[in-house]
Structure 1
Amino acid sequence: MCDTLFVPWHKTASSRNILAKNSDRDPNEPQYLLHIPATDHPAESRVHCTYIDVKQVPHTYSVILSKPSWIWGGEIGTNEFGVTIGNEAVWTRLDYGEPALLGMDLLRLGLERGKTAAEAMDQIVNLLETYGQGGNCAFTGEMFYHNVFLIADQIEGWVLETAGKFWAAEKISDIRTISNVMSVHKPTCLHPGAMEYAIEQGWYSREDPFDFADIFMDHRHTANMGGTLRARCTERILRSASAIGLNTVKRSLRSHNGHSPFTSANFSSPCMHASFIGDSQTTASLIAFLNGSHTMYWATGMSTPCIAPFQPFWFDAYAEELVFAYDQQETAMDAWLRRERINRAALQGKIDLLSYRAELEVLEKQFVQQASEVEQASRHQRQAVCDAIARQTSAFLDRWLKKAETRPEKPMGGESLQKVWNSLNNTLGANRTIAY
């Protein structure tokens, strides 16, 4: 489960398109930000993705990727031109097939090969039609699905929905939220064989309007995922602001949709907290104010955004404690696991959340002030601020972890919730598989 949102420039306080995402994955699955440098590749070379090889292109662009440790691709990412993509699972009427490209692989490939949102989308479509999508997407157990992508740059935004090798794309000009529910009803662009395939399956008659989402979606499975409720929640929060800025977007990503966080947040909660075995949890969050190569980002680098500090960075200026070098994935994993101790301590009742959140609010206001003062400054000045904020964040988290060491346990929730988290705690950090 995930929540991805787009806000067009004319609805924002900054006059910039905004793309943001909560990535909901296995609670024990590390997810961290990596910088992948631009690279020239030999002729006829191939690249190994999570499950299969695909033909490599002569040059790949530089990318910053929010990457689940064991997967080659990523959940959220951006490239040197400010093209930014978030993907989500959707369930369709088509079989999920043999291992091929994961949606996360397609996301990375699109960023590495597309200078604009439209180019990235074309790359994803071509790869989808050539190689297909499929394979287990779960850190533990099994989960199979197809994908929807929200793709944006400083000029435009697109929703690209897929079902097997079929796809439909819609150019978007208003607030849009996607939460594991297909929503492209009137495509701007469409796979040339999608309509005929639907007719052959008996799903569609030529006399009716062609609604890609309604025809290809597995409605029963989708209804159980809470996606419609999450999408309505984030959209409601966004539309409550006359001019949408960072605070409104953070509020939407941190919303529990009326549920009690940690103990009763469920599939209808944008800020997702695991509450049973096999449940998902928000393991990483990112916000992008799209401005080409000078796009400004805010990211957590940890789970559960309701208690995670959002730190700023730029593509050319970021703290190495937040965005790691590609060959430093072991270090990145350890950093995510250390930050995850905040969430586990909170669940054990070892953190005074009222005091923690009050301090976090003050800290984030300082971050916004610090970042705004250098937004138009040199790379060196922006880098210095990112480094300073990373140190402040580490000091804040370390101080609360130190407090947790001496605070008596008072676990949240009932016995069943405690059993879930005892099981998760026993295996946290055990799977250190990394895909390079």
Structure 2
Amino acid sequence: MFPTSCDTFVALPPSTEGQRVVFGKNADRPSDEVQEVVYFRANDYVPGTKVECTYIEVEQAAHTHAVVLSRPAWLWGAEMGANEHQVCIGNEAVWGREGCDGEEALLGMDLVRLGLERADTAEKALHVITDLLERHGTGGSCMEDNCNFTYHNSFLIADRTEAWVLETSGQRWAAERVTEGFRNISNEYSITTRIDKEHPKLREYAKSQGWWDGVSEFNFAQAYSYMNTARIEASDSRYCEGKRMMENSNGHITAQTLMEILRDKKSGINMEGAFLSAGSMVSVIPGVPGRSGVHYFTATPDPERSVFKPFIFVPDIRQLKHTCSPWYGEDDPVKQKPRFKSKPDRKHPLFLKHEVASAIIETTKERGKQILQNMRDLEKKKLAEMEVFLVKGVDDVDDGPSLVNLFSNTAQEEMEAYSN
């Protein structure tokens, strides 16, 4: 198997319109995997409480923030998501000189969720992730399979004022701060000599392994990258094409800009084949302190054939029923050892409807064309409606009741658009 996956983007002023931060990601995953979009409310916990992640338990925080997550339906963590404080995180698979076939520990996707639940700024999320990484490490299969598909992780973490790129190798890491312009990450180490924070023994370890001479300027990517560059070269074209497309819209980047980039198949960013773009996310975060952002998710494969549906954090949100997969509890094959002896049906209602619509698009030209037009019309309508809230803000009392079911109602409209 030759695994490749994921591209994540962030744009900050002055590269964006309207003094906003725009964040986007494709979650490229195995073609038979279901991506669900789920919501978890804020909560408080007594000292000593543990939280069960995908493979291991860790100590629970005293308080967790409300989060909306796009995740492979079989695991606890997430590929990408946002919290009520408008922090957004996405992660990527990366491979380096250091092996990544250790025992079960935290997945990079677990760290995405833990960072979102425990931090109200991007920099705090960085500290949450690196602290947990150093204490617990990462390990375990990243696929619902016995193939032992493992990797190191890179993360793009953003809030309304800045972003951080965090790249890991085992329990060591390097981070780069982004305060303006745009940045993207793909399946390769991209932090070079500009390092704003790092593991205390990052350089010492590289020197001990003979990856750095200790005299020349330290270059993280050069020191820690995989010696066989085949995987890096495979992802390089996506990374460069993503960067080029962002540059082409520099100064005018919007949510629509990132949606179109995530839909681009020629570049490979919208992936097809054994790995495909199973779910996509675009977030718009106003620069005005306290103003709510809008977070768009597809919850279905291939963003070109999906609707980016809006979500806004308001009080009293319930679980997102149309994009929530069946739950198997302790009977889930992922929870039992040996793991992955079978794969239960994890398709949620929107996924099932989307499968039918995709088949029609493939086989019936005129009907398929109409379905795609209906989907684009719905998305355009929602983008216009959300612009009002981005400009004026959200009043929890006046606007909250109408936005509680915003995402679920849009998912319902999408399903209706398949048949109209």
TM-score bracket, normalised by the shorter chain, equals 0.7 to 0.9
Which of 264, 274, 281 matches 1:255? 264
Q: Deviations over 1:171-208 (max 9, x none)?
A: 01321111111101121111110111111111101111
Residue 244 to residue 214, structure 1, CA distance change in 2 (3 Å): same
Which of 81, 84, 87 matches 1:80? 84
* Residue 143 of structure 2: aligned partner: 138
Q: Which runs of 5+ in 1 are unaligned?
A: 258-267, 400-436
* Residue 309 of structure 1: aligned partner: 307
2: CA distance, partners of 1:19 / 1:215: 29
2: CA distance, partners of 1:389 / 1:367: 8
The CA deviation at 1:32 is 1.0
The CA deviation at 1:356 is 3.7
Residue 175 to residue 43, structure 1, CA distance change in 2 (3 Å): same
Structure 1 contact 30–336 (Cα < 8 Å) conserved: no
Structure 1 contact 371–385 (Cα < 8 Å) conserved: no
The CA deviation at 1:226 is 2.6
The CA deviation at 1:210 is 0.5
Which of 368, 377, 387 matches 1:362? 377
Q: Deviations over 1:255-311 (max 9, x none)?
A: 012xxxxxxxxxx5111111xxxx211111011112456111111121100110111
Q: State the percentage of identical aligned residues.
A: 32
Residue 223 to residue 391, structure 1, CA distance change in 2 (3 Å): closer
2: CA distance, partners of 1:142 / 1:225: 23
The CA deviation at 1:348 is 4.9
The CA deviation at 1:313 is 1.7
Residue 87 to residue 386, structure 1, CA distance change in 2 (3 Å): closer
The alignment covers a number of residue pairs equal to: 385
* Residue 61 of structure 2: aligned partner: 57
Structure 2 contact 54–77 (Cα < 8 Å) conserved: yes
Structure 2 contact 322–412 (Cα < 8 Å) conserved: no
Structure 2 contact 177–196 (Cα < 8 Å) conserved: yes
Structure 1 contact 6–17 (Cα < 8 Å) conserved: yes
* Residue 181 of structure 2: aligned partner: 174
Q: Return 159-168 or 233-242, whichever deviates more.
A: 233-242
* Residue 432 of structure 1: aligned partner: none
Structure 1 contact 46–56 (Cα < 8 Å) conserved: yes
Structure 1 contact 324–332 (Cα < 8 Å) conserved: no
The alignment partner of 1:67 has SS state of strand
Give, as a single letter, the amino acid of the residue that structure 2 aligns with 1:37.
R
The CA deviation at 1:130 is 0.4
2: CA distance, partners of 1:134 / 1:112: 21
Which of 166, 187, 199 matches 1:191? 199
The alignment partner of 2:228 has SS state of helix
The alignment partner of 1:17 has SS state of strand
Give, as a single letter, the amino acid of the residue that structure 2 aligns with 1:213.
A
TM-score, scaled relative to structure 2:
0.84
* Residue 252 of structure 2: aligned partner: 243
Give, as a single letter, the amino acid of the residue that structure 2 aligns with 1:271.
N
Q: Deviations over 1:308-363 (max 9, x none)?
A: 01111212287935565997999984224314414751585245454443343333
The CA deviation at 1:91 is 0.3
* Residue 345 of structure 1: aligned partner: 359
Q: Deviations over 1:132-166 (max 9, x none)?
A: 11111012333110000000100110000000000
Structure 1 contact 184–212 (Cα < 8 Å) conserved: yes
The alignment partner of 1:34 has SS state of strand
- Root mean square deviation of aligned Cα: 2.6
Please show how residues 3-402 of structure 1 align to structure 2 within 5 Å.
3-96=7-100, 97-140=102-145, 141-172=147-178, 173-185=180-192, 186-220=194-228, 223=231, 226-241=234-249, 242-257=251-266, 269-274=268-273, 279-291=274-286, 294-316=292-314, 320-321=320-321, 324=324, 333-342=347-356, 344-345=358-359, 348-350=362-364, 352=366, 353-375=368-390, 376-377=393-394, 378-383=399-404, 386=407, 388-399=409-420
Give, as a single letter, the amino acid of the residue that structure 1 aligns with 2:90.
G
The alignment partner of 2:240 has SS state of helix
Give, as a single letter, the amino acid of the residue that structure 1 aligns with 2:116.
L
Q: Which runs of 5+ in 2 are unaligned?
A: 330-343
Residue 385 to residue 89, structure 1, CA distance change in 2 (3 Å): closer
2: CA distance, partners of 1:392 / 1:7: 30
Give, as a single letter, the amino acid of the residue that structure 2 aligns with 1:24.
D
In the alignment, structure 1 residue 2 sits paired with structure 2 residue 9: no
The CA deviation at 1:31 is 1.1
